[in-house]
A and B are shown apart, each in its own frame.
Chain A
Amino acid sequence: MPEIALEVSKIFAGYVPDLPILRGVSVKVKSGSLNVVIGPNGAGKSTLIKAIVGLVPVSKGRILLGGKEMGGIKPHLIARHRISYVPQIDNIFRTLTVRQNLELALRSSDRNTNERLTELLIKFPILSEKMKEKAGALSGGQRQFLAVAMALATYPDIILMDEPSAGLAPKAAQEILELLRELSNSGVAILLIEQNVNQALRLADHCYILAEGRNQVDGEASKLLNDPIVGEIYLGGKRLRAGG
């Protein structure tokens, strides 16, 4: 496995070419590492992830996966590039049952799907109890587990997640973040947007701070957490509550 799972190099991206939301953002994600992106509202965090999976057009810059450049990825083919993407809040199909959600996600897997389904259900026993229920009836925490299970269905090398802890109770939020840490320890690289900054930084390896569509600061998560200047500006007293 290559050392760098994903490299985003100075990309410009936005819905219209004249008004890019991202203006030269760079991110490097090592295999099996947990990376967190933080920043104020409108910093372009969600746009960064959407640009990587092809939901927002990239006008300049390069995106490399496992060292290979991929020009204009199609969102429905990300599984082929071993990427999974878990959007914010609406990340499962509420009107489908848990089983149907999983089967849909497994459809784009190129390996034995029955085997994978069994593995996923062993990993997430709570889901196997709810297979016939509508996903919309799950609790917030259970929905996130389902979303992660769907993301894992295609054996990804990298998972992109947009605020998995949004709207969750503190305990459920801690659980989901710990799950992500565990996944990255098992070899899946993770790029995560978070607003629970302190919690996330304690678990993450690396942290990127974005503002106004540009990189501001980045470095080892533990160092940033203890850096007095970063703490003052981004994590400190006023605590910028990062949203979407």
Chain B
Amino acid sequence: MIQHLLDGILVGSILSLGAIGLTMVMHILRFANFSHAELLSIGAYVALVFDQMFKVTMPLMANAIGSLSMTWALVLATIFSIVFTGVSAVLFDWLVFRRIRQKGEELSMVFASFGLALIVRNLIGLIFGLNTKLYSQDIVFATVLSRDPLLVVKLDQLATFSITLVLMVIIHIVLSRTTFGYSLRAVGENPELAQVNGINLERAIMAVWIIGGGLAAMAGVFYGLTNQINPMIGRDLVLPVFAATIVGGIGSIYGALLGGFIVGLASNLALIILPSGYSPSVPFIIILAVLLIRPNGLFGEARA
């Protein structure tokens, strides 16, 4: 039971990072972006490429940090990946979503996002192969926290969790203390009013894509670090990440944050009563439960 809680929180931090960017995009551009989870996948693979490049070119960086399996090479690779993924998100917007927005076919954006997800996911499969990959081939032993009940945790997971918490504090400060943060919230609430108050809408949209892509890249690396990397990351995470945004209320950044943890916890706790084969269904059950009990989520507002 406690082990499930522990695992749930760790998975939750990955979902939160994915959901924050998704909820922002859904709020401002008003469509369910089914390609968002592919950004996690891009993030994981780009970090893998740079990681291996750095390990070869700078062997000193290939040493693990403390007892983590993470290396300095991976840390640096992650930073590159954040930038690359953020830029890809903007690029996808320019190539696909912005053009459709300009045609006034807003409803079609959700279709386009599905099509884009298919293209990205399968191109990744074609480029990197369908087999799974790992950042480090070393076996990482889990640290035993307690023997009775048996509680184990990998240090990588704890590091992931701590970094997520730090990121969330930073996001909170930006949103609640800086005019840049207010301007993002303003655009989400009322784009027209935001514009006439001096906010450049196109630039705000770009900022949201970059932030969403960057956070997704980090979530992707953390997922790869604590699980494994394969081209189906996007397919497997799209529903849990959506569930997190619905639990929190679409558009609420704090809601997405909390929603990620709730979905992570619920998915792991559900395994106590459900056979593990049913775990892909759990996010849908959570969505149904939210729609029944509190349709607008924890922090969401009703909006047509």
Contacts and interface: CB of A to CB of B under 8 A. Distances in A.
Please determine if A and B sit in direct contact within the complex, based on CB atoms under 8 angstroms apart: yes
Interface stretch (B85-93, B129-137, B184-192, B255-263): B184-192
B57 interface: no
A104 B197 contact: yes
Contacts of B192: 55, 75, 87
A171 interface: no
22 contacts: A53-B196, A75-B195, A75-B196, A76-B195, A76-B196, A76-B200, A76-B201, A77-B198, A84-B196, A85-B196, A87-B192, A87-B193, A93-B185, A93-B193, A94-B189, A95-B185, A95-B189, A96-B189, A100-B182, A104-B182, A104-B186, A104-B199
Given A103-B182, A107-B179, A93 B198 contact: no
Given A93-B186, A93-B190, 7 more contacts: A55-B195, A75-B196, A87-B193, A103-B179, A104-B182, A104-B198, A105-B198
A12 B185 CA distance: 34
Nearest to B178: A103
A93 B189 contact: yes
Contacts of A87: 192-193, 196
A104 B183 contact: yes
Contacts of B182: 93, 96, 100, 103-104
Interface in A161-217: none
A184 to B, nearest CB: 20
B24 to A, nearest CB: 14
Contacts of A78: 196, 198
A108 B197 contact: yes
Interface in A59-87: 75-79, 84-85, 87
Nearest to A103: B179
B186 A96 contact: yes
Interface residues on B, range: 10 to 19
Nearest to B301: A95
B201 A104 contact: no
Interface in B152-184: 179, 182-183
Contact of B199 (A53, A55, A76, A95): A76
Interface of A: 53, 55, 75-79, 84-85, 87, 90-96, 100, 103-105, 107-108, 150, 154
Contacts of B193: 87, 90-93
Interface in B234-286: none
B261 to A, nearest CB: 22
A107 B198 contact: yes
A48 B200 CA distance: 22
Q: Which of B189, B193, B197, B198 has the most CB of A within 10 A?
A: B197
Given A95-B189, A96-B185, A96-B186, A105 B197 contact: yes
Nearest to B196: A85
A90 B195 CA distance: 13
B205 to A, nearest CB: 12
A77 B196 CA distance: 8
Interface in B188-221: 189-190, 192-201
A76 B198 contact: yes
Contacts of B199: 76, 104
B57 to A, nearest CB: 44
A149 to B, nearest CB: 12
A103 B193 CA distance: 14
Contacts of A90: 190, 193
A56 to B, nearest CB: 11
A108 B198 contact: yes
Contacts of A154: 198
Nearest to A83: B196
Contacts of A150: 197
Nearest to B183: A104
Contacts of B200: 76
B69 to A, nearest CB: 41
Contacts of A85: 196
Nearest to B181: A100
Interface string B45-68: 000000000000000000000000
Contacts of B189: 93-96
Given A93-B193, A103-B179, A79 B198 contact: yes
Q: Which of B179, B193, B199, B200 has the most CB of A within 10 A?
A: B193
B129 to A, nearest CB: 46
Contacts of B186: 93, 96, 104
A96 B186 CA distance: 8
Contact of A55 (B179, B185, B196): B196
